[in-house]
Structure 1
Amino acid sequence: MRFLKLIAVSAAVLALAAPAAAQQKVYRIGAAVYGLKGEFMQLWANALKEHPAVKDGSVKITVFDGKYDAQTQNNQFDTMITQKFDGILFVPIDSQAGAQAVDKAVAAKIPVVGSNARVNSEKLVSYVGSDDTVAGALEAETVIKAMGGKGNVLIIEGPIGQSAQIERRKGNQTVVARYRDVNVLEMKTANWSRAEALALMENWLTVHAGKIHGIIGQNDEMALGAIDALKARGLSPKSIPVAGIDGISDAIKAVKEGTMVSILQDAQGQAQGGLDVLLRHLVGPGYKPRASVWEDYAREGLHWGDGTARQYNVPWTRITLQNADALLVKRSK
Structure 2
Amino acid sequence: MMSWHLTSKNKPKGVNQMRCYRLNSFRIWIAILILAVFVSGCSLEEGEQDNKITIGFAAMNVEMTWMKFAYHAMHKKAAELGVELITYDANNDVTKQAINIEDLIKRGVDAIITDPVNVKGLNSALELAFRKGTPVVAFDRSAFGAPYLFFVGSDDVEAGRLACRFLADRLNGVGEIIVLEGAIGSSPAINRSKGFYDEINKYPEMKIVFKKSGGFLRDEGYRIMEEAMAKVVSFDAVYSQNDDMILGAIEAMENAGITPEKVLTIGTDAIPKALIAIREGRLDATTQYPISQVEIALEKLVNYLKTGNMPQWKEHLVKPWVITIENISTGDFYSIIQD
Per the shorter chain, which TM-score range? 0.7 to 0.9
The counterpart of 1:194, out of the listed 211, 215, 218, is 218
The answer to whether the 8 A contact 1:168-1:218 is kept is yes
SS of residue matched to 1:238: helix
Residues 1:78 and 2:102 are matched in the alignment: yes
| Counterparts of 2:305 and 2:86, CA distance in 1 | 17
Which segment is superposed worse, 24-33 or 233-242?
24-33
The answer to whether the 8 A contact 1:29-1:85 is kept is yes
Which segment is superposed worse, 121-130 or 245-254?
121-130
Q: CA deviation at 1:104?
A: 1.3
Structure 2 match to 1:278: 301
User: Relative contact order: is structure 1 or structure 2 higher (C-alpha 8 Å, sep ≥ 6)?
Assistant: 1
Q: In structure 1, give the amino acid aligned to 2:300.
A: V
Q: In structure 1, give the amino acid aligned to 2:87.
A: V
| Counterparts of 2:312 and 2:103, CA distance in 1 | 27
Q: CA deviation at 1:325?
A: 4.3
Q: In structure 2, give the amino acid aligned to 1:246.
A: D
Structure 1 match to 2:248: 225
RMSD across aligned C-alpha pairs, in angstroms? 2.5
CA 1:158–1:104 in structure 2 vs 1: closer, same or farther (change >3 Å)?
same
Structure 2 match to 1:34: 60
| Counterparts of 1:180 and 1:321, CA distance in 2 | 28
Residues 1:54 and 2:63 are matched in the alignment: no
Q: In structure 2, give the amino acid aligned to 1:316.
A: P
Structure 2 match to 1:309: 313
Residues 1:214 and 2:237 are matched in the alignment: yes
Q: In structure 1, give the amino acid aligned to 2:322.
A: R
Q: CA deviation at 1:144?
A: 2.9
The answer to whether the 8 A contact 1:126-1:277 is kept is no
The counterpart of 1:241, out of the listed 264, 268, 279, is 264
Give ranges in structure 2 of 5+ residues lacking alignment: 1-39
Q: CA deviation at 1:323?
A: 4.1
The counterpart of 2:139, out of the listed 115, 130, 140, is 115
Q: In structure 2, give the amino acid aligned to 1:311.
A: E
Q: CA deviation at 1:196?
A: 0.5
Structure 2 match to 1:330: 335
Residues 1:153 and 2:177 are matched in the alignment: yes
**Greater share of helix:** 2
CA 1:272–1:40 in structure 2 vs 1: closer, same or farther (change >3 Å)?
same
**Larger Rg computed on CA atoms:** 2
- CA offset digits 1:202-253 (Å, max 9, x no partner): 11111114x1111110111111111111111110122211111111001111
SS of residue matched to 1:156: strand
CA 1:111–1:189 in structure 2 vs 1: closer, same or farther (change >3 Å)?
same
| Counterparts of 2:59 and 2:165, CA distance in 1 | 30
SS of residue matched to 2:62: coil
- CA offset digits 1:127-185 (Å, max 9, x no partner): 11111000011012212322231121111111111101100000110121111112111
> How many residue pairs get matched?
296
The counterpart of 1:87, out of the listed 103, 107, 111, is 111
The answer to whether the 8 A contact 2:323-2:330 is kept is no
Q: CA deviation at 1:24?
A: 7.1
Structure 2 match to 1:173: 197
Structure 2 match to 1:128: 152
The counterpart of 2:71, out of the listed 45, 52, 72, is 45
SS of residue matched to 2:325: coil
TM-score, normalization by structure 2: 0.81
Structure 1 match to 2:286: 262
Q: In structure 1, give the amino acid aligned to 2:65.
A: E
CA 1:324–1:163 in structure 2 vs 1: closer, same or farther (change >3 Å)?
same
Q: CA deviation at 1:121?
A: 2.9
Q: CA deviation at 1:322?
A: 4.5
- CA offset digits 1:75-127 (Å, max 9, x no partner): 11111011111111110111111222211111111100110111113521111
- CA offset digits 1:10-37 (Å, max 9, x no partner): xxxx9xx99x957972111111222123
Structure 2 match to 1:301: none
Which segment is superposed worse, 190-199 or 171-180?
171-180
| Counterparts of 1:99 and 1:47, CA distance in 2 | 26
Give ranges in structure 1 of 5+ residues lacking alignment: 1-13, 287-305
